[in-house]
Chains A and B, each alone.
Chain A
Amino acid sequence: MGDILGLVLKRLGLGLVILLIISVIIFFMVELLPGDIAEAVLGQGATEDNLAALREQMGLNKPAIMRYLEWLSGALMFDFGSSIVTQEPVMSVIGERFLNTLFLAAYAAVIAVPFAIILGVIVALLRNSIFDRVANVLTLTSISSPEFFLGYILILYFSVKWGMFPAIANLSEGMTFWELLERTFLPALTLVLVVVAHMMRMTRAAIINLLASPYIEMARLKGVPPWKVIVRHALPNAWAPIINVVALNLAYLITGVVLVEVVFVYPGVGQALVDAVSKRDFPVVQACCLIFAATFILLNLAADVGAILTNPRLRHPK
C-alpha cells in the first residue's frame, strides 16, 4: 500500500506545481498590458489624478511580485479582491454561480456517464456492423457541432415548437428540486449530447484495443461464453481507460459549460467570465480562470490517480 500512497502523493505534488505555474501565468499575463490596469480601465480620457487614485486604490504602486503573493495568499482563502466595475468582492459575484455551474455539470454527468459507457461497450461488441458505422457517423456529427448549434436546435424543438421545457434556465429562490431539474433540463441535455459522443468513442476504442489482446482470444478459444469474456476477462483491465475517459470528459464538462450557459442564460461562472471579459474586469477574469483551471487540473489528477489505483501495472513504472 505504501508505494501507492507515494505515487498518489507524487501526482498530487505535480498537480500543485502546475497549478502554481498557471497562477503565475494568469497573474502576470495582465502585467503584459500596454500601460497598466488603471490605464486600461479608465481609458483614453483619464486624467493623471484619476490614474494615480486608482493605482493607489488597487495597490499598483507596489512591485508586481508583492502583489502576486498577496493575490495568491488571498486566493488560497477564496478572497480574490474586488471587482473593478461593481466594487463588490469577487467571491460574492462568483461564489453562488460556481455552485450553479457544478450543479449543471453534475446533472449532465449523472445522465451521460452510465449511458455513454453502456453504449460504448455495445458499439464495441457490434464493431464493423452497420450499427457501429451509424453510431460512428452520429457521434462524429455530435462532436463536430458547436455547443450553441445543439443548444439552439433543442430550444427550437423542445421549447418553441413542442413547449415541453423552458428555453431560459433562470433560477429563483424557493424552487423545488423537481422544478430545478426541469428548468435546467435543456442545458444539461446539450452537454449530455456532446459528452456522450466523446465518451462513447473513447470507451469503444479502449474496449476494442483490449479485445484485440491475446489473452481475450485465449479465453474465447477455450470456450468461455461471450458475456463472461467481457465481464470477467476484459472489464477488470478496462476500468483504467474507462475511468480516464470519464474524468477527462468531466473536465471537459466544466469548461464546455461556458457556451451552454450563455445560450441558456444560466447564472453560472461561465456567464460571469464572459461578462467580465467584455467589460475588462480583470480581477473577476483572473478568479474565474483560476477556478476553471484548478477544477480542470483536479479532474485530470483524479483520472491519473484512478488509473493508478485500478491498474497494478501502472504502479511499477519501467
Chain B
Amino acid sequence: MSVFVIGYYALLLSASCLAAYFNKRSVFLLLFSLTLVSFVVGIVGGAGALKAIAIGAGMLALAAMVSYAFREFLILLASTEMAKELRTAPLTAAFGMFVIFTYAIAGIFAPIIAPYGEAEVISSAFAPADENMLLGADQLGRDMFSRLVYGTRNSVGLALTATCAAFIMGAGAGLLAATKGGWFDQFMGRFADVIMSIPSLIFALLMLSIFGPSMPVIIIAVSIIYAPRVFRLTRAVAGNVVVMDYIEAAKLRGEGTGYLIRREILPNSTAPLIAEFGLEFCFVFLLVAGLSFLGLGIQPPTADWGSMVRENATLISFGEITPLIPAAAIALLTVGVNFVVDWMLHRSSGLKE
C-alpha cells in the first residue's frame, strides 16, 4: 500500500461520507459506487489502474469547472431573456457550448494561431514533440498542431457547408410540400423514402467513385443524402402548423405561399428545426470524416482530420497516441454539439420522462 492508494481511498470515502451527511443522494451514490468499482479495479490492475481512474476523474472535474465558469460567463454577457434560458442549461450543454466556441475561434483565426503553414515541411518524418512542435511532426515532417488547427477550418467548414446545403434543400422542399400538399407532397415524400433506403456511406461512396473526390462533389453528394431527413422533419413539423386556424385566416386574407412560409410557418417551427440542424451537422460531420479517413475526402496537402488519422495510423503500433488526436477532435466536437442538441430538444419538446 503506497501513500497514493491510501490517500485515494481516504479522499473518496470521506467525500462520500460528506455527501451522505449533507443528504446529497445522487452525489453520494456516484462517489460510493466509484469507491466500490475502485476496489475491484485496484485488486485487478494495481495502483496504476487507480491512478488512471484518478486522472480521468480529475479531467472530468476540470471539464465540469470549465463548463460551469463558461455558463456563468455567458449568463453575464447575454440579455435577460437569454440568461434565464441559459440558467436551465445542464453542465453538459455548457460544456458543448464551450467546445463549439473554442472550435469556432480555432477555425476563424487558424492562420494566427497555427505557428506554421498547413503544408509546410519543417522537420523529419514522425519527429517527436519538442519546444517548436507541440504535438510532433506527421509522416512528412509537417507540424501536427498547425495541421490540427487548420483542420478545424477545413473539416468543420466543409461539414457546415454541406449541412447548410442539405438544410436549404430539405427544409425548402418540406415547407413547400406542407403548404402546397397534393401531388408535389406525395412525389417528394416517395422520393425521400427511396433516398433514405440507401445506406448513407454506401451512397456517398457510389457518387464519389463516379464523379471523383473533390470539394463540390462531396458537398453535393452529402447534401443529397441528408436532405430527405431534413425534409421529413420539416414536413412533419410544418404539417402540424399548417392546420392551425391562424394559417387559415392568413389564407383567407389572400396571402401568398411565400408570405405563409416566411411569416407564419417558419417562426412557429424554428425550435425543432434548430435542434435538427445540430443533429444533422453531427451526422454530416461523421460521414465526411469517415470519407476522408477512407482517402476520399478533401485531398492532400490540405489538412483534414479524417485523413490525418489515416496517414499517421502506423504510429499506433508503437504505442503513440498522435494519430488519435485528430480523431479525438472529431469526437469532441460531435459530442459537444450532441450535448447542446440534447438540452434544446428537452427544452422545446418536453420529452416524456
Instruction: Give the B-binding residues of A (Cβ under 8 A).
Output: 18, 21-22, 25-26, 29-30, 32-33, 127-131, 134, 136-137, 140-141, 143-149, 152-153, 155-156, 160-161, 167, 205, 208-209, 212, 251, 254-256, 258-259, 262, 273-274, 276-278, 280, 282, 285-286, 288-289, 292-293, 296-297, 300
Contacts and interface: CB of A to CB of B under 8 A. Distances in A.
Contacts of B209: 276-277, 280, 282, 285
Contacts of A288: 202
B296 A278 contact: yes
B159 to A, nearest CB: 12
- Prevailing SS type, chain A contact patch: helix
A199 B100 CA distance: 27
B309 interface: yes
Given A18-B193, A130-B26, A208-B352, A289 B331 contact: no
B317 A160 contact: yes
Interface residues of B, number: 53
Nearest to B282: A144
Contacts of A205: 351
A143 to B, nearest CB: 7
Contact of B206 (A131, A167, A262, A285): A285
Nearest to B335: A144
Contacts of B207: 29
A161 B316 CA distance: 10
Contacts of A278: 295-296
Contacts of A128: 353
Contact of A146 (B194, B331, B352): B331
Contact of B342 (A127, A140, A277): A140
B92 A137 contact: yes
A225 to B, nearest CB: 23
B201 A144 contact: no
Interface string B7-28: 0000000000000000000110
Contacts of A127: 353
A145 B334 contact: yes
B353 to A, nearest CB: 6
B210 interface: yes
B317 A212 contact: no
22 contacts: A22-B198, A29-B206, A29-B207, A29-B210, A140-B342, A144-B337, A145-B330, A146-B289, A148-B293, A152-B316, A160-B316, A160-B317, A161-B319, A205-B351, A209-B352, A254-B199, A258-B294, A274-B294, A277-B294, A285-B209, A293-B197, A296-B198
Interface of B: 26-27, 29-30, 92, 193-194, 197-203, 205-211, 282, 286, 289-290, 293-296, 306, 309-310, 313, 316-319, 321, 323-324, 327-328, 330-331, 334-335, 337-339, 342, 351-353
B291 to A, nearest CB: 10
A148 B295 CA distance: 13
A292 B199 contact: yes
A129 B29 contact: yes
B295 A18 contact: no
A141 to B, nearest CB: 5
Nearest to B305: A146
B199 A146 contact: no
Nearest to A213: B352
A296 B296 CA distance: 23
B290 A146 contact: yes
Nearest to B207: A29
B215 to A, nearest CB: 17
Nearest to B27: A130
A195 to B, nearest CB: 15
Given A128-B353, A208-B353, A255 B330 contact: no
Contacts of A254: 199
B351 to A, nearest CB: 8
B331 A149 contact: yes
Nearest to A286: B206
B280 to A, nearest CB: 14
